Amino acid sequence: MKTIYDFSVKDADLKEISLKNYKDKILLIINVASHCGLTYQYEGIENIYKKYKEDGLEVLAFPCNQFAFQEPGTNEEIKKFCDIKYGVTFKIFNKINVNGSKSEPFYQFLKEQLPGVAGTTQIKWNFTKFLVNKNGEVIERFSPQAEAEEIEAGIKKLL
Number of domains in the chain: 1
69 burial type by CB count under 10 A (0-12 exposed, 13-18 middle, 19+ buried): exposed
Q: Give me the domain span that covers residue 146.
A: 4-158
Say whether pTM exceeds 0.85. yes
Is residue 36 part of the annotated active site? The answer reads yes
3-class secondary structure for the chain?
A: CCCHHHCEEEECCCCEEEHHHHCCCEEEEEEECCCCCCCCHHHHHHHHHHHHHHHCEEEEEEECCCCCCCCCCCHHHHHHHHHHHHCCCCEEECCCCCCCCCCCHHHHHHHHHCCCHHHCCCCCCCCCEEEECCCCCEEEEECCCCCHHHHHHHHHHHC
Over residues 7-16, the pLDDT tens digits come to: 999 999 999 9
Q: Report the CATH number that the domain containing residue 131 is assigned in CATH.
A: 3.40.30.10
Catalytic residue among 19, 26, 30, 36: 36
List, for residues 65-110, the tens digit of each pLDDT value: 999 999 999 999 999 999 999 999 999 999 999 999 999 999 999 9
Reported as a pLDDT band with limits 50, 70 and 90, residue 121 is: confident
